[in-house]
Each structure stands twice: as C-alpha cells, then as structure tokens.
Chains A and B, each alone.
Chain A
C-alpha cells in the first residue's frame, strides 16, 4: 500500500477579542499558515464547551486548538481561566480513555500577536502531521458506532 500524504484538519476556536484579532492581523500581514486550520470565532474562550472540542475530534478533525487572551487580559475578566481548567480536564479525560491528549491545544495569543498566531499554527500543524491521523478516525474505521 502506498502511503497517502496526510493532510490534517485542525479546528480552531478563537476568542473574539484576542486570538481572532491575532488571526485578523496575521491575515492583513499576509503571514501564511497551513490551510488545515479551520477557524471558528467565539465570543470568549470560556464559551467553548469541552464537548465542542471532543465533538470536533469525533466529527473527524485531527486536532483542536482553543485560543484565548493572556491570563489577566480576558475581556470578560476570568473567561480564560475557566477555559484553562476545562482544557486540563478534557486532556485528563482523553488520556484516561486512552486517546492522545496532545490533540487538544490551549494557546494564549493576544490581539497584537499576529506573527505568534501564524507561528503556533505552523508548529502545531507540523506536530500533528508527524503524529498522524487522530485515533478517533481509527475507531471509525473499525466500524464502531458513533455516539451522539
């Protein structure tokens, strides 16, 4: 069997005030990053239910990124701390169930950090490329039933 080139899909939930603004800045500055990133704008990183992250993986994403404001800079004061706790839990749960917990990434990227945004997206995509397709997909290929 010849190896097909692996083109991952990474779903990014980016908060409206910081990381989305950084993505805007990366865009206006024309900093290229892989097309595998699928950005979704949310109001705050705390809007993102842990279920959304798992759901994205379940639907076939190879990884997810949650982007928020730096600690202390949250537009909603404490939203990013909540997100941080949640991501820690999601990672623990994934790990204890035998899944790869590095497929959920939490990053603080402020509105002025366009270059940082592009760098993180590049590095994470490279990492996931090396890591290969998500285990969730492997489960699918076994013909397991999808849980709703």
Chain B
C-alpha cells in the first residue's frame, strides 16, 4: 500500500485524492483552508454556481468514507520536504477545524449556544467557524467541536502531489474604482442559490440594467488563463439572454478561445440569439453616467472575467521544495506531471492554465504516473452482502430521530415506533432494537440521506435488513426546519410505512469482467495508454495495421514546446519500444465488435479476441498546407490547439481568424496577423471512425471525431458534468487523443492516462452502480419492442436475440428509472420503486 501526500484542494487534486484512495493507496490531504473549498479555486472563481462545486467535494468525501484511505489536515502549510521518491519525509503544520466537518451532524445546537461565524459556500448550506471553540466543546452531541490549536506533524510518504490554488488577476488595470464594473465571480454570485431571475440582476445602484457587457482579456498583453474563461462568458451571456430576451447583451473580446467539441456552437448560438460580439484590439473602460463606456459602447453593467495571476506562495512553495518554475508554473519532465525533483508531481492550476474538464482528466491520469513510486495498492474488496429475504410478512419499525422530529407528535400506523435523541450517534442501539423486536422493514425518520443516509442503511444491514427494505424520511430538512405541521410529518411517515410494507427484496448483481484491454488504433495516445496499462494488466491488445508518427504539436508548456524534433522522436521511439515488448500487436483492422462492458468480442481478419474494456485511439491524419492558424473547419470543433502550436514551432509569419494562441502559448505569441489562408495543420479524423462508431452505437461530430463524455445533442458542451459519475456510464468504451478532437501530445497524455486508469477500475468485477435501484425485466410481460433500449442513456438495456425480450446489463445500469417509465407493458421495472409501492405511498401522503 502506497502513501501519497496531496497538497492544496483544487478540482484536480480533489479528483486525484479520490482516485488514489480508490486505487488502494493512503492519501494525506493537506487542505489550506479551514474546510474543504474554503480557499478560492479557479472553479469557484469562474463558476460559483456550478453543480461541479458540490459534486467534486461529494465524490471526495464519499470515497474517503468508503475506503477509509484519506486523512485530512486543515489550515495546513508545508514546511519541508526531505528525501527522495519512495522515502519522503514531509513536515507540515496544521490547525484542526473548529467544526470537524466529518463528524458534524448538522443539529445546529452550536448556533444557539456559541459564537458562530457563518461562511456562505458556492454550493450547499455554507460552513461555520466557531470563535469560542474552547468553551463550546461540550455543546456538541457529536463531539465535532475541536480546539483550534496549531500542531506540527511529520509524515513519511512515497510521493508528493502539489496542486495549490490560484488567484485571479486583478481587474484594476481595466476599470479601477469604476462603478458598475464587477469581476465575473461577483456577477455570477448575484444569482447564487436563487437561479437566473430578473429580480436578482441589479446594478450597483440597485436598478435593473438595460444592457450588460462581458469582457475577457484573452489575447491582451500579460494575460494567462485557460480556455474556460471564454466558454463561461459565452454560457453566462446566453443564459442572461434566455432569462430576458429584451436585455442588451454585449461581449468584448480580442480573441475567441474555446475548446473542443461543440464549443464553436456557443459562438454561433450567441450570434443567433442577438448577443453583440465586439472584436476589439484595445480596450478603454470609462464611467458613462451610471454605467460604463467600453470603447464606444455604453453598458449599464460590465462583468470582467479575470485571467490568472501567479501567487507569491507558488514561488515560495517551489523554492521550498526545490521545484523549478517557468512563467510561474511548475516545470515538468516532458509529457508527465513529474517535476525536476523526482517523486514530486504537479497538477491543476500549478501545472498550466487548466480548465475544469482537463483538471479532471489530470486528477485521474496522475495515478499511473505516481504509482511507479508506490507500493502495491489494495483496493477495497468488492463484496455484496446477502440477506435473508421475506417479502410477505412485513413488520415495520419506525425509528424517529428527535433531532429531526423536534417534538412533533408522531402518530403513525407502524408495528413499532422507536424514538431516540440522535439516531446517528447510537447505531448499536438501532441494531439491538431491530434484532430484539424482530423488525424486518425499517423506516428512518431522520435527516437528509446526503448526510446520514448511507450510514443508516449500513446500520440496518448490520442488523440483517437489506437496503431495499429500508426507507428514509427526511423529517429534518423537509419538515421540521421549514415550518411543517404534525399533519405533514405523519403523512410523510405513513407514506414511507405504506411503501415499506410493499417493499421487495432486490438482489444487487455483480458482473464478471474479462481482465484484458483492447486498444483500437495506433495514435500516440494508444501507446501512452498501453504503457500505463501494462504495469497492471497482463494482456493488452493493440489492434491497428500501423502506428502513427509523432506529430509536431507537443504542447504548450515551454519545456515541451521547445523540444527539438529529434528529442521528440527519441521520446516516441523509446515509448514504442517499451510498449511493443509487452503488448500484443494485432496487425489488422477491426471488423466487428460485440458484447458490452466487461466482455467485448472483437473480430478482425483472421481471429477474434475478448476484452473487458475498449480504448479507441484511432488518431488522425495531419495535413500541413499553408501558414494559417485555422480555428474551425466544417464543424464545431476547435482546431487552434494544434495549429497554433504548429505556427509557434515553425516560427512562420502566420495569419489567424479567431484565435492565434492557446493557453500558455501567448507568453510569446507567434507573429500572427488577422487574415485568411490555407491551414497550417489540418487534422482529419480517420474513415474507420465511422465503422467503429456504428459498431458501438457511438456518435461522431460533423467532421468525424468521436464524442466522449460530452453531450452532442444540446449545443453547449457540459463535459465536466458527465465526469461527476465515475467510469461505468462510459460503458467500458473510452476515447483518447486525436480520435476525440485535435489536441497536443500533452493533452493526449492526459486523456490516455484517464482512459488507462479508468479501465483499471473496470478490470475487477463490477457491482451495479444502480445499487438497489437496479432495473429488471419481467420476461412474462416484455414484448421486446425495444423502447426501453432507446430510453436508456447508459446503454444498459438491449434486446436479447435469442429470447426476443429486453435484458439489463447490470454493470451499466445507474437506476434512473427511465426504462420503467417508457415501458408500455409494465415489464421494465425498478423493483425498489415499483408502481405498487408508489401508489400505496400516494394514498397516504395526501392525507
């Protein structure tokens, strides 16, 4: 079991810590704030209302609880890192949280009795700091209040991952002290928790503005930032326009920097909806009456999306640890996250300007790179407890948590009603009561399942009650705290009791997987993924007639951007040699693919193989023609990521249309002028993509690139959204590299690492992610019409060719219930949520 220290809590490090823990390593997470998400990160600055804020934290806490592999230290600061890889001695100081966020049960007693400072959070209820913690320790029934005494610790770890948070650049230089000029964060914060609604949009004078402007300084001198800056500006402008079509919305830009699939459609949509996009060369912002004048356009309210500044503590940290910096970012060895100091890695904002999608890729791709220094990981064993089932003699016990019920008179129709002060603090008493009284259906009247749901279900499981026999009623958040009456409380409880009586036993299935990976294609990313996988998987197939050459877009970080062609070639050859020694190369094209996650059958001319997971890395052809930095071709996919690097490396007098540089490149922009011409690098996806997409039921964009983890149908790319879940929804099929979109080798490394690490998680038997909400088919009712197959977004349903009825692939089912809803004959059902139960519930809930 390895031990890793993760410093800083950015989106990337959140995901990294969760991934290390899942891979079975111990993680020491040094959080620099009083609680998680206390320190501003890029994510919070740019998208304070985005749901990702909550999910990334939820995933981390969930993993920490499930694996027990993460130790958190708060208010911490690195002092010293001694030693080398496999044997680091790290000294740091930390100060415990005044409220231990893992122990807090949210009873709010401290609010009544202590001096509490409440800090609103981007998402969720906000956190608290207790000023007089010393006197308050005894107030908390859960013993969550701690004395904030600074301590020094020394730990031994095998690797260190740095991911300190960034600070936004000051907007002073654009509109110092002007009225009605806000940072984007402050603008977005106006709608926090309330939704985009006219009444919340206000100028500094408290009036509703007639016009709103957005300005992103990308392309101006000194600007550093990720492409996400502009994506978000476009998204927010579109959202405003949707809220109020009469509102005059302006966007001021020098360059348009977007990223990946579909994002050019943001631009098209903005034009279509009548948003005024001003392409400017210089900017002057002056006060104009109550509003401001941007060049010669008047707006009542201006939101500036700041780029990124290099914080002083980054420099201090680098000096302290002995990491070299370049332009303020940590220098790394080519195509890795490893710094010049062996065993010290960087991801996230410290690595390079990083958007949120990329941050999640990085947080996963780092695992195989660090693992070479770590001991063997011990992932938690996949075990499904079995229970005695009894669907016919329900004996319902209602457990009421007084903290949640707060004195309401409970009068319900159950076999037993048991009241406790704090249910979550006395699980052993629950187990005892269940066993003593012979209860076989449990209804908990407690707080939010998000807080204690899993814990209560586990407690019931300890007493031999299957999760499908447990019902949770949120008395606290849904009733007692929002001004409910006894009638509502009892109706809610009775509804749950009625449903509990109808509950049936649901068996949670396990899918066995074939422990091999098939990589289709000969892209650079195919080799990188294979290189990572071969460390852990004994058999990796590479199915491709030939391998692509290394191409001339290594990346935007100076250390790779400046690599000579020879160095690049050398790196590639050694990678290929390493892989070829161990992987099995099938020198054929794919002809047919059958099966699903866990067991694919891939046929090629002369044979067939089985694999649990498929990685598509078919690569692309790159045609070098002229000297123009082309932003888009026929589709909505952005090409500048590759072409701007080509222009920079070739040092030619290039022309550009929308965007001349990408991420860090603009520190030394190519000598480019606006204009037109033949593209410098035309990335053309391969023909075979169409065949593969058809075989796997995947979608391609207009140009022929694969969609992966993004939703093709709704215009605005929400890739980050899809990553909220882990691997299962991808159905065991990953896309990496140029098959996905034009990208540099640096980005290929991130995507290949993501595909490899995610495949590894699927290389063990998979418990259905739906849990007790698994969907099943009643074979007697199913007509085999296939409507449910179309309704299922995760590809979990298919028509069995022999029986001609719909069947479920448990490994892919996520339990949303879309199939049950569309089934015309009532054959597709979620047994834990059957109509019988719901109807019983509805009878009671309206009383």
Chain A residues in the interface with B (C-beta under 8 A): 9, 11, 18, 21, 23-44, 46-49, 51-52, 55-56, 59-61, 69, 71-73, 75-79, 82, 86, 109-116, 118-119
Contacts and interface: CB of A to CB of B under 8 A. Distances in A.
A111 B54 contact: yes
The 4 closest A-B pairs by CB, nearest first: A27-B477, A47-B817, A32-B483, A28-B125
A112 B793 contact: no
B488 A38 contact: yes
Given A43-B833, A112-B123, A30 B51 contact: no
Interface stretch (B25-33, B171-179, B190-198, B432-440): B190-198
Contacts of A47: 816-818, 820-821, 830, 833
A51 B477 contact: no
B280 interface: no
B846 A76 contact: no
B712 to A, nearest CB: 11
A88 to B, nearest CB: 15
A140 B842 CA distance: 17
Contacts of A37: 488
A112 B818 contact: no
Interface string B695-733: 000000000000000010110101001101100000000
Contact of A116 (B195, B711, B842): B195
B555 interface: no
Given A79-B818, A112-B192, A113-B195, A60 B846 contact: yes
Interface size class of B (residues with CB under 8 A): 35 or more
Given A21-B450, A47-B820, A27 B833 contact: no
Given A46-B817, A110-B195, A116-B194, A28 B106 contact: yes
A103 to B, nearest CB: 13
Nearest to A58: B842
Residue from the set B474, B713, B725, B846 with the largest chain A CB neighbour count within 10 Å: B846
B821 A27 contact: no
Contacts of B477: 23-24, 26-28
B193 A28 contact: no
B195 A35 contact: no
A61 B846 CA distance: 6
A114 B193 CA distance: 6
Contacts of A56: 842, 845-846
A109 to B, nearest CB: 7
23 contacts: A21-B450, A23-B474, A23-B477, A25-B125, A28-B481, A35-B479, A35-B484, A35-B488, A38-B491, A40-B845, A41-B449, A42-B817, A49-B821, A52-B842, A59-B842, A61-B845, A76-B793, A76-B794, A77-B711, A77-B722, A78-B713, A82-B821, A112-B192
A60 to B, nearest CB: 4
Contact of A72 (B718, B822, B845): B718
Contacts of A55: 838-839, 842
B773 interface: yes
Contacts of A116: 193-195, 197
A115 B193 contact: yes
Given A11-B845, A47-B833, A39 B815 contact: no
Contacts of A51: 835
A24 B818 contact: no
A87 to B, nearest CB: 12
A25 to B, nearest CB: 6
Given A23-B477, A24-B450, A75-B724, A111 B51 contact: yes
A44 B816 contact: yes
B284 interface: no
B221 to A, nearest CB: 35
B816 A27 contact: no
Contacts of A49: 820-821, 835
A43 B482 contact: no
A46 B818 contact: yes
B478 A112 contact: no
Contacts, number: 169
B536 interface: no
Given A49-B835, A76-B814, A112-B123, A35 B483 contact: yes
B818 A38 contact: no
Nearest to B793: A77
B833 A118 contact: no
Contacts of B485: 35
B817 A43 contact: yes
Contacts of B847: 60
Given A43-B815, A48-B821, A113 B481 contact: no
A12 to B, nearest CB: 9
A25 B714 CA distance: 28
Contact of A32 (B448, B482, B818): B482
A38 B721 CA distance: 29
B745 interface: no
Contacts of B195: 109-110, 113, 116
B841 interface: yes
A32 B495 CA distance: 22
B257 interface: no
Nearest to B477: A27
A82 to B, nearest CB: 6
B604 to A, nearest CB: 32
A20 B288 CA distance: 45
Nearest to A83: B821
A96 B419 CA distance: 49
B741 interface: no
A59 B717 CA distance: 42
Contact of B194 (A38, A44, A86, A113): A113
A33 B481 CA distance: 10
Contacts of A33: 482-483
A80 to B, nearest CB: 11
Given A39-B492, A42-B833, 15 more contacts: A27-B482, A30-B482, A35-B483, A37-B488, A38-B846, A41-B474, A47-B816, A47-B818, A48-B821, A52-B838, A55-B842, A115-B194, A116-B193, A116-B195, A119-B194
A67 to B, nearest CB: 12
A74 to B, nearest CB: 8
Contacts of B125: 24-25, 28-29, 114
Contacts of B482: 26-27, 30-33, 118
A44 B371 CA distance: 38
B49 interface: yes
B843 interface: yes
A116 B193 CA distance: 7
Contacts of B718: 72-73
Nearest to B53: A112
A39 B821 contact: no
A27 B49 contact: no
A43 B481 contact: no
A89 to B, nearest CB: 12
Contacts of B484: 35
Contacts of A18: 51
B733 to A, nearest CB: 15
A25 B814 contact: no
- Best-buried of A23, A43, A71 by chain B (most CB within 10 Å): A43
A61 B106 CA distance: 32
B193 A112 contact: yes
A39 B51 contact: no
A35 B488 CA distance: 6
B791 interface: yes
A73 B53 CA distance: 13
A35 B843 CA distance: 18
A61 B841 CA distance: 12
Contacts of B193: 25, 112-116
Interface in B112-165: 122-125
Interface string B532-548: 00000000000000000
